[in-house]
Structure 1
Amino acid sequence: MSSGGYMLGPSARALLVDLGASVPTVLRRARLPEGLLAHGTVELTSAEYYALWQALADDLGDEVLPVTIARVLTAEVFDPALFAALCSPSLALAAGRIAQYKRLIGPLRLEVEASGGSTKIELLWVDRPPEVYALTELLFWVALARIGTRGEVRPLQLTAPVRQSREVRDQYAEYAGIPITYGPRWSITFNDRDANRPFLTANERMWDSFEPDLRRRLADLDRASTTAELVHAALLELLPAGAATMSAVARQLAISTRTLQRRLQLESTAFQTVLRTTRESLARHYLSSSAMSAAEIAYLLGYDDTTSFYRAFHDWTGQTPEAVRIAENRSSAEGVRT
């Protein structure tokens, strides 16, 4: 996965206007060019993408901005890949299609799992996302299901590593039909009845016209990605399953272990180096943005036990996870005061 090249189309400007945001002000807050959204589709790095979302939240000061966004979403403000998903026969098929192409339009990947009478969509982040953006991505699926079916679809479960006041939690529950449950992962689950409910917007002919361009752009993105970036992206999916091995990553990338090793060497790095940096960045993310325990973090990083995680974390940072969490929280608090 490339560290940049995430598409932002003209619909972004329309959404900002619908929300009552000042486009120039939001762009200035994000330290982006004021004319950025005036000339069609642009590409942003993950840092720029996140900065834009945080600037929007800061500009509007809306405690439940993701709910507000979900309420104003229409097919007209969807990006092309997402609009194409509305052409799918159902939410389940739309989720599979978006999972394939999502990394073109945002710094995350999707994992879709259908089992036990339900369909679960999990969000896997490239880097630490602003909370407002991550929650918006979760509620997007509720909005998509309702726009596609013209029905009041309610998910079975919404989980996120965030703590909310009772008032805020109630407003999310009012929109989604259920409250957000605290958990280590960003995920949303629908029952199979809703996941397979026919989309009234289904149009396979339109999808057939969209898909070739999406395939081309995805191939361009992969060609532009370094092997280390592709390994990092694969590890984001494989670590929680305890499959943090070179052979597992090679299978994910559809190449041999020897080829993977050789390509990493050509980039002056090694698999263990990418694995360590991925684990460290994820650990810092979980410590600073959630209240997850060390045991939960160890599990998500693919460790067999908490002791192994503690030992590795100390090797990376010279500190304990608790010390880093306290320092990160103090730094965030000081940032808010200033």
Structure 2
Amino acid sequence: MSEPMMAAGFVAAFLDYASEKGAPRGALLTASGLREEDLDDQDNRVPIAAYQAMIGAGIAATQDTALLLRHTLDTKLETISIVGQIVHTSASLAHSIEQLNRYLRLMSENDAVAGQDRFELLAQNGEAWIVDHMPIGGSSEAPPYLALEASFARFISEFRRSFPDLTFELEMEVTYGPPPHVQDYPDLFRVPVRFNSTRNALRIDPVWLSADSAFEPGHQYAFGIFTRHADGLLQELERSDGIRAQIEGQILPDLHKGSLSMDKISRDLGMSRQTLYRRLKEEGVTFAEIHDSLRERMARDYLAARKVSVNETAYLLGFSEASSFVRAFKRWTGMTPSAFREEGAGA
């Protein structure tokens, strides 16, 4: 199992915020094992464990256990993630929660809940609730209250900014006990909080369930742009989950060896040869096709960059003879490697 990942935008935003509050920036990065360049692109993927370690270091440095909560209340989701742009151009609360459930994985891979959406908008006995179904665990770096605090604080803060003259939040129910900074809850959440409850839920003004509570119109065009971008990101994540991507990751370092063993790859992936064969069949591809396709893609990259010769490219791709590489490249592209290389130089 690969480790759960999340969007770098959230980590970068917390790093900036914690640094402004007095936590040494270098120490936060060291604790997380991340580099500044890992956080340059908000859509980049970084380990959730790295984020949790950074939060722990930030709390230790500032001696403020409410640091993540304050950060969430003070920042705008649309500046951190494409999902924030989608939520802010949605047609209504119900529509925004639908989009949130759809694109949660772009923010954090552990937000998914097996068999159901994470967030549910619930009408119950004349009341309106947003229920968070994510199972809450805890660790030394991430106590159980942190994720829920941030979850409900995000809803509250976004509505406070977008609709400052309207009531949104009314009360909270949480499954965890009072956190170390419980004395700050009245000032930060501004609603009653019931601890050690049977569910994690935020009660809101029922007006947000009505048809009259539609958000400001005119965002359909922007909504379409943002969702197309998000759909592309989701497709990239889905491709990276496939057995093809896993095999490519295993064979790329040994591509220059030429002959690769399917038995070895299956062992490296922690599965039997029969299981690997079945997974490949399900994706409609063979081991040989993956090997051949990866060779073609790398050949194009090497030759287009013009940093290695045709003979060197043949070696890097595991061809025993340059003539075999030339024949393979003509099969892939209809061109000789030399012609392709020169054409790239001209472009």
What TM bracket, shorter-length normalisation? 0.5 to 0.7
Q: 2:120 aligns with which of 103, 112, 115?
A: 112
Deviations along 1:71-96, one digit per CA (max 9) or x if unpaired, are 41235643221132112233332222
The alignment yields a C-alpha RMSD, in angstroms, of 3.5
Equivalent residues in 2 for 1:236-251, closer than 5 Å:
none
In structure 2, relative to structure 1, the CA distance for the partners of 1:67 and 1:118 (3 Å cut) is: same
* SS of residue paired to 1:114: strand
Q: CA deviation at 1:207?
A: 1.1
- Equivalent position of 1:183 in the other structure: 197
In structure 2, relative to structure 1, the CA distance for the partners of 1:27 and 1:200 (3 Å cut) is: farther
Equivalent residues in 2 for 1:211-250, closer than 5 Å:
211-225=227-241
* SS of residue paired to 2:90: coil
In structure 2, relative to structure 1, the CA distance for the partners of 1:5 and 1:171 (3 Å cut) is: closer
Q: CA deviation at 1:213?
A: 1.6
* Greater CA drift, 204-213 or 64-73: 64-73
CA distance in 2, matches of 1:72, 1:35: 24
In structure 2, relative to structure 1, the CA distance for the partners of 1:220 and 1:42 (3 Å cut) is: closer
Equivalent residues in 2 for 1:90-239, closer than 5 Å:
90-106=92-108, 107-109=110-112, 110-116=118-124, 117-125=127-135, 128=138, 130-131=142-143, 132-151=146-165, 153-164=167-178, 168-176=181-189, 177-194=191-208, 197-200=213-216, 203-225=219-241
Q: Are residues 1:4 and 2:12 paired?
A: no
Unaligned ranges ≥5, structure 1 = 228-264, 269-338
Q: 1:51 aligns with which of 50, 53, 73?
A: 53
**Is contact 1:138-1:186 (8 Å) kept?**
no
* SS of residue paired to 2:192: coil
* SS of residue paired to 1:174: helix
Between Structure 1 and Structure 2, whose CA radius of gyration is higher? Answer: 2
* Greater CA drift, 208-217 or 197-206: 197-206
Alignment: residue pair count: 231
Letter in structure 2 aligned against 1:159: E
Percent identical residues: 14
TM-score by length of 1: 0.57
CA distance in 1, matches of 2:92, 2:22: 32
**Is contact 1:111-1:121 (8 Å) kept?**
yes
**Is contact 2:78-2:88 (8 Å) kept?**
no
CA distance in 2, matches of 1:200, 1:20: 38
**Is contact 1:86-1:201 (8 Å) kept?**
no
**Is contact 1:87-1:204 (8 Å) kept?**
yes
- Equivalent position of 2:332 in the other structure: none
Q: CA deviation at 1:208?
A: 0.9
CA distance in 1, matches of 2:89, 2:156: 16
**Is contact 1:11-1:79 (8 Å) kept?**
no
Equivalent residues in 2 for 1:228-307, closer than 5 Å:
266=275
